[in-house]
């Protein structure tokens, strides 16, 4: 349904409020996506030259919302394209008069008002750049649409039981109160539904283009005085405040979601088609282990036990490896994200998608409860950054850079470049090295630096 308006929008260009159009035929097959860099990166329309891994930033001629900074660098020949994508924009959410039925809305077309949100997102593609490009084109439309669907509830002091404002039962406000439902919960619900919607769109688009691939998604939305960070995958967002660092996301990988993944295989063993074992072992087992009691974990265990090894345990484990090497079905390094509808384990008929989740975890930060200082920022970055820099290293770089560059109008862009540079390191022979002679990041790296000061006054 909604996927349909997005598809039509893609064919026909943006429309403020696409509605059903029964006269519209199926139309020609959608054109293949053209690879591109984000629109706000100068030269973004061209295919990215590798260019010795030069760091590229947002141009000063098209400033990002809030004067945010952005920078990126392509991977060290891991893939033909930079599989990261970025998006940011203002989101205008059309306000509805409470109590008006949908078919009466034309009555207030003139007094229409908008609520304004601000959106930044990073997508880290795998299996090709396509899913990340579609996500960077569509997710904000899905969010706008889902927010508009509930906006009547968001603008009330307390979300009403009935969106129409009609009161079917006198004690409805008490029921809503008892469940502690606030406007922020509607925004969280809208983000959760938007990710699901966007995943559906990607599935349809990729199928129609006969493409495969998926992407992680990390989206930040500032709306009505609160910052919402929705994450599905292994990108990360942190608030670097004057006195502390607030993690705004957590990573979803085969390791962090082992129990959910194993439990699904326990409930539906056919998903493994006899090719994988659901148990976790410290390493892949071999013939010599059969009959021995070895360390293992099943879906219900946070602890470890010993299991007498049977032949079936020699199969490849559903979740295997450790840290950056951890894989789901030997195939994927993340357990949440968008796309991958067509992904199968190589040389098998085993689908990966049932084990993936497209649902983000949403964290909320209420600006009204914090005294935001001048140099407080939100840092969003793909795993290319976090693989080599921890939160406290990033926080330290942010604080010292901003303290030393008080007046530069491009300071947030420069800081984004500085962070990407640091994680990419320098080329020494055939290797990319950090300052401290550890290996640098060979991955695509994308970073937003978003200043927060005085934004609640917008």
The residues that touch a copy of itself, with contacts defined as CB under 8 A, are 146, 149-150, 153, 159, 161-164, 166, 168-169, 171-172, 175-176, 178-179, 181, 184-193, 196, 267-268, 282-283, 286, 288-289, 292-295, 297, 300-306, 322-323, 357, 359, 361-362
Contact yes or no for 359/232 (Cβ under 8 A) = yes
Alpha helix positions (H), 223-354:
258-267
Closest approach of a copy of itself to the CB of residue 187, in Å: 7
Closest approach of a copy of itself to the CB of residue 37, in Å: 32
Q: What's the rounded Cα separation, in Å, for the pair 373 and 244?
A: 12
Residue 135: closest CA among 114, 151, 121: 121
286 burial via Cβ count (<10 Å: 0-12, 13-18, 19+):
exposed
Question: Which contacts of 287-293 are long-range, i.e. CB under 8 A and separated by 24 or more positions?
Answer: 287/314, 289/313, 289/314, 290/314
Nearer to a copy of itself, 175 or 427 (CB): 175
Q: What are phi and psi of 85, to 5 degrees?
A: -140, 160
Closest approach of a copy of itself to the CB of residue 177, in Å: 9
Contact yes or no for 445/384 (Cβ under 8 A) = yes
CB atoms within 10 A of CB 269: 12
- Parallel, antiparallel, or unpaired for β 316-317 and 276-277? parallel
Closest approach of a copy of itself to the CB of residue 293, in Å: 4
Nearer to a copy of itself, 187 or 350 (CB): 187
Nearer to a copy of itself, 186 or 447 (CB): 186
Nearer to a copy of itself, 301 or 433 (CB): 301
Nearer to a copy of itself, 263 or 455 (CB): 263
CA 135 to chain centre: 9
Nearer to a copy of itself, 246 or 301 (CB): 301
């Amino acid at each position: 349904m909604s996927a349909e308006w997005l598809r039509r929008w893609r064919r026909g260009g943006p429309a403020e409020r696409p509605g059903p159009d029964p006269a519209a035929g199926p139309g020609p097959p959608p054109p293949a996506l053209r690879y591109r860099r984000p629109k706000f990166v100068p030269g973004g329309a061209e295919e990215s030259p590798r260019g010795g891994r030069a760091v590229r930033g947002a141009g000063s001629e098209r400033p990002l919302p809030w004067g945010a900074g952005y920078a990126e660098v392509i991977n060290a020949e891991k893939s033909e394209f930079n599989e990261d994508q970025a998006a940011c924009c203002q989101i205008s959410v059309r306000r509805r008069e409470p109590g008006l039925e949908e078919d009466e809305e034309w009555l207030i077309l003139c007094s229409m008002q908008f609520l304004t949100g601000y959106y930044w997102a990073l997508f880290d593609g795998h299996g090709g750049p396509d899913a990340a490009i579609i996500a960077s084109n569509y997710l904000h439309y899905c969010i706008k649409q889902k927010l508009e669907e509930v906006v009547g509830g968001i603008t009330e002091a307390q979300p009403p039981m009935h969106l129409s404002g009609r009161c079917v039962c006198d004690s409805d406000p008490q029921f809503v109160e008892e469940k502690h439902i606030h406007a922020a919960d509607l925004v969280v619900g809208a983000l959760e539904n938007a990710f699901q919607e966007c995943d559906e769109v990607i599935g349809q688009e990729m199928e129609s283009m006969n493409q495969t691939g998926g992407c992680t998604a990390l989206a930040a939305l500032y709306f009505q005085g609160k910052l919402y960070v929705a994450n599905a995958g292994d990108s990360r967002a942190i608030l670097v405040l004057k006195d502390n660092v607030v993690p705004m996301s957590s990573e979803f990988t085969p390791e962090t979601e082992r129990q959910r993944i194993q439990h699904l295989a326990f409930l539906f063993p056919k998903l493994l088609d006899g090719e994988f074992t659901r148990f976790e072992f410290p390493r892949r087992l071999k013939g010599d282990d059969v009959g021995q009691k070895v360390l293992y974990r099943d879906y219900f265990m946070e602890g470890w036990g010993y299991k007498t090894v049977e032949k079936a345990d020699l199969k490849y484990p559903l979740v295997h490896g450790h840290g950056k090497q951890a894989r789901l079905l030997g195939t994927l390094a993340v357990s949440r994200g968008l796309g991958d509808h067509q992904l199968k384990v190589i040389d098998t008929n085993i689908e990966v998608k049932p084990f993936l989740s497209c649902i983000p975890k949403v964290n909320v930060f209420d600006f009204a409860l914090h005294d935001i200082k001048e140099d407080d920022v939100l840092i969003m970055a793909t795993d290319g950054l976090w693989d080599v820099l921890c939160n406290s290293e990033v926080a330290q770089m942010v604080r010292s850079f901003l303290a030393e560059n008080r007046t530069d109008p491009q300071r947030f862009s420069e800081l984004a470049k500085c962070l990407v540079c640091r994680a990419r390191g320098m080329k020494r022979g055939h290797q990319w090295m950090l300052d401290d002679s550890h290996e640098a990041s060979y991955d695509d790296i994308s970073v937003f630096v978003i200043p927060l000061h005085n934004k609640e006054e917008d």
